[in-house]
């Protein structure tokens, strides 16, 4: 396990399909340019507006299998009959050049990331109701009827795992929900544990400049 550097935030955002997690994550990506979005690998097909390497790395079953065998994934899971995984390389790249990493992954992935990185912060996005979830999923118009039914059936199973997460954001009205999500990031960045080194450095400086005599200009 790699200990997180003081200010490096690992943020997991999960939700049942259609609750608005991608919309909220896109807003985070716009505002927090120093948090790197972890681009997962998936065996599902790209949607018309998706670009390989931007939303996902779209790979074949064989390629995904090879990466599993080579232990290239920090976590992976079967979701809605397809496979999705976070490569270790994504996390290494974030550590090398960013102040945080954002994972849009399901509860199975969240559990694995939390097991490896206990300081990772999990946010679960809830729809205001199951009826609204269905409206949004259908309104998005990206899934076949069969896939829509499968995703809706999975929603309750996913919500049942809310206990894995540290925060819950109800995505009722988008602006309000985004305000809640960004507050989590801001608060997490203020955690005492992330500033221990800074505090200790200040303490060292304070001790040096307030040595008896020095403050009065006496050497
Ligand atoms: P997810 O990534 O969780 O599957 P999306 O972000 O794709 O969900 O959102 C599903 C649909 O709901 C999209 O069409 C999106 O524009 C819409 N949506 C997201 N948030 C809200 C909201 N607060 N109110 C109404 N519609 C929303
Ligand atoms: P979608 O097909 O709608 O993009 O995503 C379906 C589900 O897979 C979402 O819940 C999403 O969070 C999850 N997912 C995306 N990438 C990963 C990943 O790398 N690992 C895991 N475990 N889940 C993922």
| Residues 79 and 106 sit within 8 Å (Cβ to Cβ) | yes
Q: Which of 45, 73, 79, 171 to mutate to test the pocket of ligand 2 (most atoms within 8 A of CB)?
A: 79
Residues with CB under 6 A from ligand 1: 15, 17-23, 136, 139-140, 171, 173-174, 177
Q: Which of 18, 39, 84 to mutate to test the pocket of ligand 2 (most atoms within 8 A of CB)?
A: 84
Name which residue sits closest to atom 2 of ligand 1, judged by CA. 22
CB-based contacts of 64: which residues, under 8 Å, 6+ apart?
41, 42, 43, 76, 83, 85
Closest of 172, 163, 165 to residue 129, by C-alpha: 172
Tell me the pLDDT tens digit for each residue of 164-177.
999 999 999 999 99
Q: How crowded is residue 105: how many other Cβ atoms within 10 Å of its Cβ?
A: 26
**In a structure prediction context, what are the per-residue pLDDT tens digits for the chain, which is 219 residues long?**
444 446 799 999 999 999 999 999 999 999 999 999 999 999 999 999 999 999 999 999 999 999 999 999 999 999 988 999 999 999 999 999 999 999 999 999 999 999 999 999 999 999 999 999 999 999 999 899 999 999 999 999 999 999 999 999 999 999 999 999 999 999 999 999 889 888 999 999 876 665 665 555 555
Give the model's pLDDT for residue 169. 98
Average pLDDT in the chain? 92
Give the model's pLDDT for residue 216. 55
Give the model's pLDDT for residue 2. 41
Ligand 2 atom nearest the C-alpha of 158 is 10
| Residues 100 and 35 sit within 8 Å (Cβ to Cβ) | yes
Tell me the pLDDT tens digit for each residue of 35-83.
999 999 999 999 999 999 999 999 999 999 999 999 999 999 999 889 9
Give the model's pLDDT for residue 1. 41
Name which residue sits closest to atom 21 of ligand 2, judged by CA. 105
- What HEC string does the chain produce? CCCCCCCCEEEEEECCCCCCHHHHHHHHHHHCCCEEECCEEECCCCCCCCCECCCEEECCHHHHHHHHHCCCEEEEEEECCEEEEEEHHHHHHHHHHCCEEEEECCHHHHHHHHHHCCCCEEEEEECCCHHHHHHHHHHHCCCCHHHHHHHHHHHHHHHCCHHHCCEEEECCCHHHHHHHHHHHHHHHHCCHHHHHHHHHHHHHHHHHHCCCCHHHCCC
Name which residue sits closest to atom 2 of ligand 2, judged by CA. 44
Name which residue sits closest to atom 20 of ligand 2, judged by CA. 85
């Amino acid at each position: 396990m790699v200990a997180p550097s003081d200010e490096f935030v690992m943020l997991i955002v999960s939700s049942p399909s259609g609750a608005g997690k991608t919309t909220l994550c896109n807003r985070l990506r716009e505002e927090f340019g120093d948090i790197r979005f972890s681009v997962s690998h998936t065996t599902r097909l790209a949607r018309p507006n998706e670009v390989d390497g931007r939303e996902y790395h779209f790979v074949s079953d064989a390629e995904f299998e090879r990466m599993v065998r080579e232990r290239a994934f920090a976590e992976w899971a079967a979701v809605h009959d397809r496979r999705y995984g976070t490569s270790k390389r994504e996390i290494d790249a974030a550590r090398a050049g960013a102040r945080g990493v954002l994972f849009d992954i399901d509860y199975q992935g969240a559990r694995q990331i939390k097991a490896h990185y206990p300081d990772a912060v999990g946010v679960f996005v809830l729809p205001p109701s199951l009826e609204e979830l269905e409206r949004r999923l259908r309104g998005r118009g990206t899934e076949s009827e069969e896939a829509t039914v499968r995703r809706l059936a999975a929603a309750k199973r996913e919500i049942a795992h809310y206990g894995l997460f540290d925060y819950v954001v109800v995505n009722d009205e988008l602006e309000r929900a985004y305000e809640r999500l960004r507050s989590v990031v801001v608060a997490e960045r203020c955690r005492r544990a992330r500033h221990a080194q800074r505090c200790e450095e200040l303490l060292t400086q304070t001790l040096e400049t307030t040595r008896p005599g020095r403050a009065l200009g006496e050497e």
